[in-house]
Chains A and B, each alone.
Chain A
């Protein structure tokens, strides 16, 4: 059996995300069948696998966009399976960037970024604007503060979405196939932003199909297959796959 057994020891303090033996099904369709992995503070974990392997579902479970059926998930000290979970506290600690950007179309880029800091953290308009400008500078979009999302290219929209997430100063950021809707050139500009975040020590979990990028940036690679963690290890598993499934997957991706 190639699946990894659930870790026996209690999570170490540097583990910021822990999934232990997580099961999730949608109706009769079992999507996650005992998934376990953990993410250390300051590291980049890349989830790979065929579509339908459960990688996006696993990622969405970390932000509790999906409720698990069974198992244990702990994120930044919040136990997601605890009925007393403070959901909004969790969302303050976790940022997420989606494949379809999901910027708010009725707000300018600046307003998009300022909305949560103002509404949730009660920053003044000036403080929030300051924060928004810093976040936009981080993704190289300083001049787009007053633009509306529809006036931006896909790549720019995605970078703005990243800035919106960063402005909440999350402890971990999740990326759900954030370049899948972009052409190669725009993909490059988004990946460069993510790479810079990694260099700054941001803890990240990302689902991606960009194998070269994964190779370059990942501290940990999790290969999922049929709802299970099939292989897990450093980026070197991409060069020395242990299982036929990962070899097949990598052959198709390239």
Chain B
């Protein structure tokens, strides 16, 4: 029986790269989805904001693992072939989009009404007002929390291991199946996750502090 060695560590690091890749997909896809959902949520058309609201409620009320199953097993059943990476990335996009959408809606609406009025009174169109006045301010206030949520994204990509995606967690499982050294194997997996997530936590906290300083002058 093989014992945990350098090749295993290499295999884990390769899995970690896929975890990073999936996290990046989730961040990009979910970021775009979140922006669309947030904009729909603050739309003056109640149908549009209603649809976005329903989307958020549904996604937040369903476990991510089930969303992944719908993507990985459900889509092929409908005749849409998907690879594990595609299914995982798509599911993460749907899931992250709902959380970012709700979070950024809050940030947009937290920009004081007086800022909307001032922009309106300068004859800016509603699109100019949103993208040149409101969103830049919303981004400033939402950045620390958004970076903080990236920790959740990285950790939750581990659920993709259940849909045959060989990420860090799945790599750990495979190694354990051959070495039967679960404590050692999964401790190493945990350490790698921590090394991915901790810098994000620190960054988030730093951004928060910097923001608190910046706001004092206002």
Contacts and interface: CB of A to CB of B under 8 A. Distances in A.
Given A106-B136, A119-B132, A100 B114 contact: yes
B123 A150 contact: no
A151 B122 contact: no
23 contacts: A65-B121, A91-B120, A91-B121, A91-B122, A96-B121, A98-B117, A98-B118, A102-B114, A102-B115, A102-B118, A103-B118, A105-B137, A115-B124, A115-B132, A116-B122, A116-B123, A116-B124, A120-B122, A120-B124, A120-B125, A149-B218, A150-B214, A150-B217
A133 interface: no
Given A106-B137, A151-B217, 17 more contacts: A65-B117, A88-B123, A91-B121, A91-B123, A94-B121, A96-B121, A98-B114, A98-B117, A102-B118, A104-B119, A104-B133, A105-B137, A115-B133, A119-B124, A119-B125, A120-B123, A149-B218
Contacts of B136: 106
Nearest to A116: B122
Contacts of A104: 115, 118-119, 133, 137
Q: Place the interface of chain A in its size category.
A: 20 to 34
Interface string B82-110: 00000000000000000000000000000
Contacts of B132: 115, 119
B140 interface: yes
Nearest to A92: B123
A157 to B, nearest CB: 10
A96 B119 CA distance: 11
B128 interface: yes
A100 B115 CA distance: 10
A75 B107 CA distance: 35
Interface string B123-149: 111001000110011001000000000
A230 to B, nearest CB: 28
Contacts of A218: none
A185 B114 CA distance: 25
Nearest to A161: B118
Contacts of B123: 88, 91-92, 116, 120, 168
Contacts of A88: 123, 125
Interface of B: 114-115, 117-125, 128, 132-133, 136-137, 140, 214, 217-218
User: Which one of A149, A150, A151 has the greatest number of beta carbons of chain B within 10 Å?
Assistant: A150
A133 B130 CA distance: 26
Contacts of A92: 123
Contacts of B133: 104, 115
B117 A119 contact: no
A20 interface: no
A159 interface: no
Contacts of B218: 105, 149-150
A116 B125 CA distance: 10
Interface in A69-103: 88, 91-92, 94-96, 98, 100, 102-103
Given A102-B115, A115-B132, A63 B121 contact: yes
Contacts of A100: 114
A168 B137 CA distance: 23
The 7 A-B pairs with the shortest beta carbon distances in the complex, nearest first, are A150-B217, A102-B118, A91-B123, A116-B122, A106-B136, A88-B123, A120-B123
B132 to A, nearest CB: 6
Nearest to A168: B122
User: Which one of A65, A94, A116 has the greatest number of beta carbons of chain B within 10 Å?
Assistant: A116
Contacts of B217: 150-151
A228 interface: no
Contacts of B214: 150
Interface in A139-157: 149-151
A209 interface: no
Contacts of A95: 121
A106 B214 CA distance: 11
A106 B143 CA distance: 14
Nearest to B133: A104
A55 interface: no
A212 B50 CA distance: 53
A65 B217 CA distance: 28
Contacts of B118: 98, 102-104
A235 to B, nearest CB: 28
B12 to A, nearest CB: 43
